[in-house]
């Protein structure tokens, strides 16, 4: 079942970070503290930082929503969207390693598109690293295409040459 969150309790945020984004916390801890041998404290710091960002920045904005795929009470994949002028900007599409290769990433994306489609035409932009073949395949499976060879972070304006800018346009908008 697809869950939409315009806001989350502290417990829900902690669950989201713990269940969906543990790998991201490890990656960020390794990047931020490359010389540390024991990353356990750094990983915990990253989880707290992410939770704080969601609580104090992401969920304070009216146009932001999180979508979580719940399968039999387990959160298995998620993404966040920011509604901008004429389109949604997708970030943080993630499926934890133990849940991968089960179609959950595509499912949360497809169900989110279907959910949004009930409100009208849907245009979604996303940035995906050029070497992330699994994510690129998932996006294509869900109807995304490459719009730009160099991605643009739609919130900061930063150009990312290591990413493609992808776009999804519902049938009503094509």
- Give the SS3 label for residue 138: helix
**Spatial CA neighbour of 58 closest among 11, 8, 126:** 8
Q: 36: which 2 tokens? A: 């540390």
Strands 163-169 and 2-5: unpaired
Domains and CATH numbers, the chain: 2-173 (3.40.630.30)
How far apart are the C-alpha atoms of 60 and 63, rounded to whole Å? 9
Q: 114: which 2 tokens? A: 């279907």
pLDDT at position 174 is 44
Q: Are 107 and 69 in contact (CB under 8 A)?
A: yes
**DSSP state, residue 120:** S
CA end-to-end span of the chain: 28
- Give the SS3 label for residue 161: coil
**Series of mean pLDDT values for 10-residue runs along the chain (174 residues):** 98 97 93 90 94 97 97 97 96 95 97 96 97 96 97 94 97 55
Q: Are 163 and 129 in contact (CB under 8 A)?
A: yes
Q: Are 33 and 66 in contact (CB under 8 A)?
A: no
Strands 87-94 and 123-129: parallel
SS3 content of the chain, % helix, strand, coil (to 5): 40, 30, 30
- Give the SS3 label for residue 100: coil
User: pTM for the whole thing?
Assistant: 0.93
pLDDT at position 70 is 98
pLDDT at position 171 is 74
């Amino acid at each position: 079942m697809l869950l939409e969150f315009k806001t989350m309790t502290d417990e829900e945020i902690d669950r989201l970070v713990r269940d969906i984004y543990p790998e991201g916390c490890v990656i960020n801890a390794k990047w931020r503290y490359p010389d540390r041998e024991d990353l356990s404290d750094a990983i915990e710091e990253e989880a707290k930082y992410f939770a704080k960002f969601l609580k104090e920045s992401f969920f304070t904005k009216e146009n932001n929503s999180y979508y979580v795929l719940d399968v039999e009470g387990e959160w298995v994949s998620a993404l966040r969207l920011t509604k901008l002028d004429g389109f949604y900007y997708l970030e943080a599409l993630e499926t934890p390693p133990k849940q991968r290769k089960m179609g959950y990433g595509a499912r949360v994306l497809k169900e989110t598109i279907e959910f949004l489609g009930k409100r009208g035409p849907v245009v979604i932009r996303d940035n995906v690293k050029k070497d992330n073949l699994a994510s690129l395949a998932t996006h294509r499976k869900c109807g995304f295409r490459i719009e730009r060879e160099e991605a643009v972070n739609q919130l900061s304006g930063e150009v990312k040459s290591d990413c493609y800018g992808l776009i999804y346009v519902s049938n009503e908008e094509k």
